[in-house]
């Protein structure tokens, strides 16, 4: 076996051909498993981003350069919170013990946000009676901003947290989510930004023993939006469900890189993301990583991504990955598919007197509604369905444009 060093690498190169030229000392060796990626909350310890890295090569880096390594405004921002008893939101200091529990930055943009925020928003769900809180942000403006949020579902609590994003934004943020033992927590993140908004987000999640976590990401608006959930099913019997829906219009780049790490025994994981694309230059990226660790005996895991292409000139990148480090599992699998309308479905509907335009609308709504229904809040589900319907109607009328 040949040991590869900087001096003996292929073609005389000083680093691996996939990148790593500016990596910290010793980090030039290719990462062998997903959990071994370099982590640091200090942006200076991350190599410079030039867009050729595996984590960035599908992202339009020039558009989000200021968020990756530029100066960020980390001051608290205006938000609106509506909640029931058992849920609350407040600002906490950087030194609070709740910060840093769920994860560490694996990307320079995430580290830049971590290094920049002055105070973190803390959202806490307590009590065994179901509770709910919606935090709305609509006045972030066009200044590059770094933010940090900590969401805690306390032991045996039950609740739902909705993060609603609208308006202008140049935002990079980290969201830490801690689901303590026996808790049942749903977190919904809705991106309905204005057409020129930029948003990079990493959601770090740790799920405790016999806890249940549901994560739903809905992205309809924004120029470049990248939301990356990283979920550790840490406790024995932990259950994680990750759902996503995205609808990209002309010129939009919507990206999600999903990582589910089965750490504890007898854990169950499900990942299901669906997207639709229409208009020249619409681009979506989905990368799904599932890692079943050596101590995760009895794991049951499955991930899938489906994309529906509605017009010419679009691009959907879909990359599922599965790593298994123990043979004692119940099952594991992954799937990915990207395609156009099912002609048989359209024929079936048109044969019953439905116009082609209406038939296409019904097929798209039926395709995406499965994800919307995972939210569990009827008023929000109906509003999102109406937003998608409006997108389809405006497209049929030839107006195009991003989600409003």
Reported confidence tier of residue 24, pLDDT bands at 50, 70, 90: low
Reported confidence tier of residue 357, pLDDT bands at 50, 70, 90: confident
DSSP 285-333: EEEEEEEE-TT-TT-EEEEEEEEEE-STT-EEEEEEEEEE--S--SEEE
Reported confidence tier of residue 396, pLDDT bands at 50, 70, 90: low
User: Domain segments of the chain: what residues?
Assistant: 1-30, 41-341
pLDDT of residue 16: 45
Comparing 149-163, 230-244, 376-390, which segment has the lowest mean pLDDT? 376-390
User: pLDDT at residue 189 above 70?
Assistant: yes
> What percentage of residues in the chain have a pLDDT greater than 70?
88
pLDDT of residue 348: 63
pLDDT of residue 42: 98
Nearest to 254 by CA among 55, 49, 60: 60
Nearest to 95 by CA among 119, 61, 112: 119
Nearest to 269 by CA among 346, 205, 336: 205
pLDDT of residue 160: 98
Nearest to 302 by CA among 348, 341, 253, 336: 336
User: pLDDT at residue 135 above 60?
Assistant: yes
| Torsion angles phi and psi, residue 45, rounded to 5 | -90, -10
Comparing 22-26, 42-46, 306-310, which segment has the lowest mean pLDDT? 22-26
154 compared with 356, residue with greater pLDDT: 154
Backbone CA torsion sign across 11, 15, 16, 20: negative
User: pLDDT at residue 19 above 60?
Assistant: no
381 compared with 30, residue with greater pLDDT: 381
User: pLDDT at residue 301 above 60?
Assistant: yes
pLDDT of residue 15: 45
Q: Are 273 and 258 in contact (CB under 8 A)?
A: yes
pLDDT of residue 9: 40
Cα dihedral value 377, 380, 386, 391, nearest 10: -120
pLDDT of residue 359: 77
Reported confidence tier of residue 13, pLDDT bands at 50, 70, 90: very low
Q: Are 121 and 89 in contact (CB under 8 A)?
A: yes
pLDDT of residue 23: 53
User: Average pLDDT of 297-323?
Assistant: 96
Reported confidence tier of residue 347, pLDDT bands at 50, 70, 90: low
Q: Are 303 and 336 in contact (CB under 8 A)?
A: no
Nearest to 185 by CA among 219, 158, 164: 158
pLDDT of residue 340: 85
* CA distances in angstroms from 319 to 19, 54, 56, 240, 259, listed in the order given: 19, 12, 14, 20, 12
User: Average pLDDT of 247-253?
Assistant: 96
User: pLDDT at residue 1 above 50?
Assistant: no
User: pLDDT at residue 8 above 70?
Assistant: no
User: pLDDT at residue 190 above 50?
Assistant: yes
* CA distances in angstroms from 228 to 29, 143, 313, 333, 343, listed in the order given: 24, 22, 25, 21, 34
The 10 Å Cβ neighbour count of residue 148 is: 22
What mean pLDDT, rounded, does the chain reach?
Answer: 90
pLDDT of residue 395: 62
pLDDT of residue 56: 97
User: pLDDT at residue 12 above 50?
Assistant: no
User: pLDDT at residue 5 above 70?
Assistant: no
Tens digits of per-residue pLDDT, 31-89?
679 999 999 999 999 999 999 999 999 999 999 999 999 999 999 999 999 999 999 99
Structure tokens at 395: 């497209």
pLDDT of residue 352: 73
């Amino acid at each position: 076996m040949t040991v590869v060093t900087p001096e003996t690498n292929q073609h005389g190169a000083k680093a691996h051909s996939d990148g790593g030229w500016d990596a910290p000392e010793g980090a030039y060796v290719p990462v062998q498993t997903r959990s071994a990626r370099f982590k640091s909350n200090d942006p200076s310890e991350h190599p410079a981003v030039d867009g050729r890295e595996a984590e960035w090569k599908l992202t339009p880096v020039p558009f989000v350069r200021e968020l990756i390594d530029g100066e960020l405004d980390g001051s608290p921002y205006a938000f609106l919170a509506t909640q029931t008893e058992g849920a609350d939101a407040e600002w906490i200091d950087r030194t609070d013990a709740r910060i840093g529990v769920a994860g560490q930055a694996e990307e320079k943009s995430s580290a830049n946000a971590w290094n920049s925020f002055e105070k973190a928003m803390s959202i806490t769900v307590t009590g065994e009676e179901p509770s709910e809180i919606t935090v709305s942000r609509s006045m972030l403006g066009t200044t590059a901003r770094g933010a940090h949020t900590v969401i805690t579902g306390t032991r045996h609590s039950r609740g739902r947290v909705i993060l609603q994003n609208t308006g202008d934004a140049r935002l990079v943020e980290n969201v830490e989510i801690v689901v303590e033992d026996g808790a049942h927590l749903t977190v919904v993140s809705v991106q309905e930004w204005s057409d020129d908004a930029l948003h990079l987000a990493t959601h770090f999640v740790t799920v405790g023993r016999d806890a249940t976590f549901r994560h739903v990401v809905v992205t309809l608006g924004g120029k470049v939006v990248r939301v990356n959930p990283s979920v550790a099913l840490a406790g024995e019997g932990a259950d994680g469900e990750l759902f996503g829906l995205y609808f990209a219009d002309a010129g939009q780049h919507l990206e999600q890189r999903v990582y589910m790490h089965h750490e504890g025994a007898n854990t169950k994981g499900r990942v299901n993301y669906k997207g639709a694309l229409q208009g020249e230059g619409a681009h979506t990226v989905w990368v799904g990583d599932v890692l079943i660790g050596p101590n995760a005996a009895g794991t049951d895991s499955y991930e899938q991504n489906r994309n529906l292409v509605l017009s010419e000139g679009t691009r959907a990148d879909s990359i599922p990955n599965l790593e298994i480090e123990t043979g004692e599992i119940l099952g594991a699998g992954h799937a990915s598919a990207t395609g156009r309308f099912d002609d048989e479905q359209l024929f079936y509907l048109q044969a019953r007197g439905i116009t082609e335009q209406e038939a296409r609308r019904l097929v798209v709504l039926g395709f995406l509604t499965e994800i919307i229904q995972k939210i569990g809040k009827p008023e929000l589900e109906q509003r999102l369905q109406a937003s998608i319907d409006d997108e389809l109607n405006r497209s049929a009328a030839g107006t195009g444009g991003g989600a409003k």
